[in-house]
Amino acid sequence: MQLVKLSDVKKGDWVRLVRNGQPTAKTYQRDYYERSEKKYCLTDIDNINAWVFRKGETLVFLDCSF
Protein backbone atom coordinates (compact mmCIF):
# COMPACT_ATOMS: atom_id res chain seq x y z
CA MET A 1 0.00 0.00 0.00
CA GLN A 2 1.06 3.55 -0.66
CA LEU A 3 0.50 6.51 1.68
CA VAL A 4 -0.71 9.64 -0.18
CA LYS A 5 -2.80 12.77 0.35
CA LEU A 6 -6.49 12.45 -0.44
CA SER A 7 -6.26 15.35 -2.91
CA ASP A 8 -3.81 13.28 -5.01
CA VAL A 9 -6.19 10.32 -5.35
CA LYS A 10 -8.19 9.96 -8.58
CA LYS A 11 -11.97 9.83 -8.48
CA GLY A 12 -13.14 6.21 -8.24
CA ASP A 13 -10.00 4.83 -6.54
CA TRP A 14 -10.34 2.75 -3.41
CA VAL A 15 -8.61 4.00 -0.27
CA ARG A 16 -8.32 3.28 3.42
CA LEU A 17 -8.05 6.00 6.04
CA VAL A 18 -5.07 6.18 8.39
CA ARG A 19 -5.39 5.85 12.15
CA ASN A 20 -2.25 5.76 14.31
CA GLY A 21 -0.13 5.07 11.23
CA GLN A 22 -2.13 1.96 10.30
CA PRO A 23 -4.92 1.50 7.73
CA THR A 24 -8.47 1.27 9.01
CA ALA A 25 -10.65 -1.78 8.32
CA LYS A 26 -13.16 0.03 6.10
CA THR A 27 -12.45 0.63 2.45
CA TYR A 28 -13.81 3.75 0.78
CA GLN A 29 -14.17 4.92 -2.80
CA ARG A 30 -13.15 8.50 -3.49
CA ASP A 31 -16.13 10.30 -4.92
CA TYR A 32 -16.71 13.98 -5.64
CA TYR A 33 -15.31 17.21 -4.19
CA GLU A 34 -17.89 19.19 -2.24
CA ARG A 35 -17.06 22.83 -2.94
CA SER A 36 -19.29 24.30 -0.23
CA GLU A 37 -17.61 22.14 2.45
CA LYS A 38 -14.15 22.23 0.82
CA LYS A 39 -13.87 18.48 1.45
CA TYR A 40 -13.83 15.24 -0.53
CA CYS A 41 -16.65 12.73 -0.26
CA LEU A 42 -15.68 9.12 0.46
CA THR A 43 -18.29 6.39 -0.02
CA ASP A 44 -18.11 3.16 1.99
CA ILE A 45 -17.91 0.29 -0.51
CA ASP A 46 -19.88 -2.07 1.78
CA ASN A 47 -22.72 0.42 2.36
CA ILE A 48 -23.22 2.95 -0.43
CA ASN A 49 -25.48 5.05 1.82
CA ALA A 50 -22.59 5.76 4.22
CA TRP A 51 -20.40 8.75 3.37
CA VAL A 52 -17.59 10.57 5.13
CA PHE A 53 -16.14 13.94 4.20
CA ARG A 54 -12.42 14.61 4.64
CA LYS A 55 -10.08 17.47 3.78
CA GLY A 56 -7.63 17.14 0.90
CA GLU A 57 -4.55 16.97 3.15
CA THR A 58 -5.87 13.84 4.90
CA LEU A 59 -3.45 10.91 4.53
CA VAL A 60 -4.88 7.71 3.06
CA PHE A 61 -3.57 4.34 1.92
CA LEU A 62 -3.93 3.72 -1.80
CA ASP A 63 -3.92 0.37 -3.70
CA CYS A 64 -6.10 -1.55 -1.28
CA SER A 65 -6.52 -5.29 -1.71
CA PHE A 66 -9.06 -7.62 -0.15
Instruction: Give the pLDDT of residue 1.
Output: 79
The answer to whether residue 66 scores a pLDDT higher than 90 is no
Spatial distance between the Cα atoms of 22 and 42, rounded to a whole number of angstroms: 18
Strand 2-5 with 28-34, pairing: unpaired
Taking only the tens place, the pLDDT of each residue in 16-62 is 999 998 999 999 999 999 999 999 999 999 999 999 999 999 999 99
What structural domains and CATH numbers belong to the chain?
A: 2-62 (2.30.30.30)
What DSSP letter does each residue of 1-66 carry, written as one string? -EEEEGGGSPTT-EEEEEETTEE-S--EEEEEEETTTTEEEEEESS-TT-EEEE-TT-EEEES---
Confidence of residue 65 (pLDDT cuts 50, 70, 90): low
The answer to whether residue 64 scores a pLDDT higher than 70 is no
Spatial distance between the Cα atoms of 21 and 4, rounded to a whole number of angstroms: 12
Q: Average of pLDDT values for 1-16?
A: 93
